[in-house]
Chains A and B, each alone.
Chain A
Amino acid sequence: MNERERLFEIWAPSRGVFSAWAKPLLFAQMDEARIVRPATDPPAPIQPWAARLDGRTAVVLDLPGDASVWHGALLGAAGYRPVPLFNGSDGQQPAVEVRSIMLALQHAGGQVERASIADDAPPAFMLDARRCDPSVRPSAGWFDNRWVVFPQDFPSGRLLRSRGVERALLVREQSRRLGDDLREVLARWAKDGVELLEAEVGGAEPVPLKVKAPWGLRPLAALALVALGLRANSAGGFGARVPMPPQGGGTGFA
């Protein structure tokens, strides 16, 4: 087992109930020789809502960049299993910066390892809220690594409930719009009887969350989004260079 695999095993141990959903993409792209595993824990942000969690609540951390990882590690210390779902690969001139996430996964790895999380611990799914920011329009030459989540990237509400998870808490920044992709996942969970809650990052009290599925013809719409807007990476996940437009012909005036 190399260092990348060792680090992934810390975040997603093979015996973990929810490890099957973890995405190794960013771990696979880490520079083997430069992986750092600090012995000391990074300072954890105090989150009042975390004190209100019980073992029957799944958490979805829809936070920008490495904030999601730091909060995941914080929840790891509280007995949760942080599950990395980052699915946009790294490249030069990326539309979504991911190196801070890769670094955070390394720096927080030790903290998660020392947390001795139970195999059947409730999950804390970590997402990058910037994954498909509509204001980002990658142009030619950029590495377009915007990505979305699908219901297939999460366990179903039925499976969560069979594992004793009755509620799901979405943690996010209120200033950011909830993405249609995650809205679809949460709406399905609600349909399966999972109670939805929402908390502002740094906020105190979780409040009930109501979401409606954004797409009538979900598979068609979601696939159209992928087919038309985003770029799959052949090595896995999303990310490819936006091609340069063809140069004009040589028939102009000199």
Chain B
Amino acid sequence: MYTAAMSPSEVIAMLVAGAIATVRWALWYHRAIAVAPMLSPAGARAPLFLTPPLAAAALFAILRTYAASDVTDSPVYLAFYMVLGAGWVAAATILFPLYGLRPAVDVAQRRNPAAGVLAAGAVLGLTLAFAGANIGDGPGWWVVAFCALLATSGLFLAWGLVDWGAGVTDMVTIDRDPTAAIRLAALLVAVGAIQGRAVAGDWLSTANALNDWLDLGWPALVLVIMEIVVGRVHAAAARRERPPIAVLGLPPAAIYLAGAAAYILTLGWWT
């Protein structure tokens, strides 16, 4: 249970997360703003400007509604987990270039709007994965970090599998294909939500958390397989002409999001 005053480990965690969040998000905005106006109009950089506050709003709404009761009612702990989340997601964005995505360069310098959509989906997916780890009662912030690590790993694993199976990120960052961007962004949000739900619930033990993550998180793999199939169809079609958003973009994206929402609703309240 939490007490009104923060423990030393919580203070240290908040300072570390705050430092990471400050540096990484300051760099994110600096890279978005400092680029010469001729390289890209301000409107083209909108996803870089808007995604972090949107993600923060989503995290706040989930914390305020579903976190442990002594968090939802405590401004101090709400702030603590907001800072932890900001640092967590900021740190995770360091891995984006390994997937071929460099948001500031792709969006602000290369004028690739599709990359902006993907970056937004990836950040929102990470936020949902982290938010799920905050749901339920537990002994302290370290169980949130452990569960967030599981959910985040699941998200990056899913992204890696999709790229291995169909090279979808390259369609976005190299081909600048908005159809692929909408689909992959939706997939990352859907997988983030499923992974977050898989680690949600009251803390019992490490083994129990791992079991829950595997038992409840595996449906994300179904979406991954679907995206690999759709991505391959997309790649084959793109050899002739770019597939339209109305065919291979919005419908699969809607299916991923609706599928994740239906699955989470079916699971019901966490235990």
Contacts and interface: CB of A to CB of B under 8 A. Distances in A.
A250 B58 CA distance: 55
Given A151-B174, A153-B110, A159-B175, A219 B34 contact: no
A28 interface: yes
A24 B39 CA distance: 6
Contacts of B242: 162
Nearest to A235: B36
Contacts of B97: 219, 223
B238 A162 contact: yes
Contacts of B175: 155-156, 158-159
Given A4-B38, A155-B174, A158-B175, A236 B109 contact: yes
B235 interface: yes
Interface in A90-119: none
B110 A28 contact: no
B241 A235 contact: no
Interface in B77-129: 97-100, 102, 105-106, 108-112
A158 B239 CA distance: 5
Interface string A1-17: 00011001000000000
A51 interface: no
A237 interface: yes
B145 interface: no
A237 B174 contact: no
A27 B99 CA distance: 30
A247 interface: no
A219 B100 contact: yes
Interface in B213-262: 235, 238-242
Interface residues of B, number: 31
B238 A158 contact: yes
A40 interface: no
Given A152-B100, A220-B98, A235 B34 contact: yes
Contacts of B37: 28
Given A155-B174, A162-B241, A237-B109, A25 B235 contact: no
Interface string A29-72: 00000000000000000000000000000000000000000000
Contacts of A8: 38
A192 to B, nearest CB: 8
B173 interface: yes
Contacts of B176: 20
Given A20-B111, A156-B175, A219-B100, A234 B239 contact: no
Contact of B170 (A5, A25, A156): A156
Contacts of A161: 239
A154 interface: yes
B38 A24 contact: yes
Nearest to B98: A219
Contacts of A234: 30-31, 34-35
Nearest to A185: B174
A23 B111 CA distance: 9
Contacts of B173: 152
Interface string B17-45: 00000000000001100111111000000
Contacts of A23: 39, 109
Which of B34, B36, B105, B175 counts the most A-chain CB atoms under 10 A from its CB?
Answer: B36
A25 B99 contact: no
Interface in A137-163: 151-156, 158-159, 161-162
Pairs of residues from A and B, 6 with the lowest C-beta to C-beta distance, nearest first: A28-B38, A234-B34, A28-B36, A235-B36, A156-B174, A236-B39
Given A21-B110, A162-B242, A237-B109, 11 more contacts: A5-B38, A20-B111, A24-B36, A25-B36, A151-B174, A158-B175, A162-B238, A162-B239, A219-B100, A220-B98, A234-B30
30 contacts: A8-B38, A20-B111, A20-B112, A21-B110, A23-B39, A25-B36, A25-B39, A28-B36, A28-B39, A151-B170, A151-B174, A152-B100, A152-B173, A152-B174, A155-B174, A155-B175, A159-B175, A159-B238, A161-B239, A162-B238, A162-B239, A162-B242, A219-B97, A219-B99, A220-B98, A223-B98, A234-B30, A234-B35, A235-B36, A235-B39
